[in-house]
Amino acid sequence: MPIKSPLTNVSLLGFKSHLGTCVDYLQHLKNIVETNSTTTVLAHNLHSLHLYYRSSSLRQCYLNSVNMVDGMPIIWLLKLAGKKASTEQRLTYVDFIWPLLEQAQEQNWRVCHIGQSSEVQQRAIGKIKKRLPNLELLGIPGYFDQQQNSSETHTVIAEVNKFAPQLLLVGLGSPLQEHWIDQHRSQLHVPAVLSCGACMEYVAGDVGTPPRWMGRTGLEWSYRFFENPKRFAGRYLIEPWGLMFSMLRYRLSGHR
Q: pLDDT for 44-76, tens place per residue? A: 998 999 999 999 999 999 998 999 999 888 999
CB atoms within 10 A of CB 249: 11
- pTM for the structure as a whole: 0.89
Summarize the confidence of residues 160-182 as an average pLDDT. Answer: 97
Q: How confident is the model at residue 251 (pLDDT cuts 50, 70, 90)?
A: confident
DSSP string, 216-251: HTT-HHHHHHHH-HHHHHIIIIIHHHHHHHHHHHHH
Q: How confident is the model at residue 197 (pLDDT cuts 50, 70, 90)?
A: very high
Res 256 pLDDT > 70: no
Domains of the chain, start order = 1-20+48-91+223-256 (no CATH), 92-209 (3.40.50)
> In this structure, are residues 211 and 90 in contact, taking their beta carbons and an 8 Å threshold?
no
Distance (Å) of CA 248 to CA 74, 83, 176, 251: 15, 18, 26, 5
Q: How confident is the model at residue 1 (pLDDT cuts 50, 70, 90)?
A: very low
Q: Considering the chain, what percentage of its residues have pLDDT values greater than 90?
A: 72
Q: pLDDT for 100-158, tens place per residue? A: 999 999 999 999 999 999 999 999 999 999 999 999 999 999 999 999 989 999 999 99
> In this structure, are residues 94 and 209 in contact, taking their beta carbons and an 8 Å threshold?
yes
d(C-alpha 178, C-alpha 189), whole Å: 17
Q: Phi and psi for 86 in degrees, rounded to 5?
A: -130, 160
> In this structure, are residues 18 and 9 in contact, taking their beta carbons and an 8 Å threshold?
yes
